[in-house]
Amino acid sequence: MVWVTILIVVFALFSTASAEPQEVHALYLPGKFLCSQVVVADVKSHVESGAANAVVIDLRDNGTFFNHCMSEVTGWLKDHNVYLIGRIVVGQDSIIADARRDMAVHVADQQIALERVLQSIDRMVERTPEVKKAALLKTKLEALDRWYGDGRKKPLWFSGALERHRYWLDPASPDLARLTSGVAEWASTLGFAEINLDYIRFPTDGDMQNMRYPFWNGEQSKYEVIGRFASSVVEDIKRRVPGMKVSADIFGIVCVNGAESSTGQRVKDFTVFDYLACMGYASHFRCGDFGFSDPNQKPYEVTKTVALGLARHLAGVTKKPFIRPWIEGFTIPSIYQCSTWRPPSAKERFRQQIRALAEHGIKSWMIWNTADEPKPLYEKIFR
pLDDT (0 to 100) of residue 13: 40
Model pLDDT, residue 14: 47
Average pLDDT over residues 156-175: 93
Mean pLDDT of 154-169: 90
DSSP assigned state of 283: G
Alpha carbons 338 and 285: distance in angstroms, whole number:
9
Residues 104 and 41: their CA atoms lie apart, in Å, by 38
User: If you average pLDDT over every residue of the chain, what do you get?
Assistant: 92
CA gap 257, 138 in Å, rounded: 44
In this predicted structure, what is the pLDDT of residue 11? 43
How far does CA 292 lie from the centroid of its chain? 26
User: Count of alpha carbons within 13 Å of 235, Cβ hemisphere only?
Assistant: 7
Average pLDDT over every residue of 24-42? 96
Per-residue pLDDT band at 10 (split at 50, 70, 90): very low
The answer to whether the beta carbons of residues 256 and 210 sit under 8 Å apart is no
CA within 13 Å, CB half, 359: 13
Q: Model pTM?
A: 0.92
- pLDDT for 354 beyond 90: yes
Q: Give per-residue pLDDT as tens, 266-286.
A: 999 999 999 999 999 999 999
> Is the pLDDT confidence value at 241 over 50?
yes
Which residues, 6 or more positions from 51, have their beta carbon under 8 angstroms from its beta carbon?
A: 25, 378, 382
Rounded average pLDDT over 172-178? 97
Which of the four pLDDT bands, split at 50, 70 and 90, describes residue 205? Answer: very high
Q: What would the pLDDT profile of 58-78 be if each residue is shown by its tens digit?
A: 998 765 667 789 999 999 999
Please give the average per-residue pLDDT across 347-361, as a whole number: 97
Query: Which of 310, 282, 308, 307 is closest to 296 using CA atoms?
Result: 282
pLDDT of residue 311: 96
| Among 158-167, 179-188, 248-257, 294-303, the least confident range | 158-167
- Overall average pLDDT of the 92-112 stretch: 92
- In 3-state terms, the chain is what percent helix, strand and coil (to 5)? 45, 15, 40
Q: Is the pLDDT of residue 15 over 60?
A: no
The closest alpha carbon to 155, from 101, 226, 106, 204, belongs to: 106
Average pLDDT over residues 213-237: 97
Phi, psi of 262, rounded to the nearest 5 degrees: -70, -35
Rounded to 10 degrees, what is the CA torsion of 44, 50, 53, 57? -20
8 A C-beta contact, residue 274 and residue 193? no
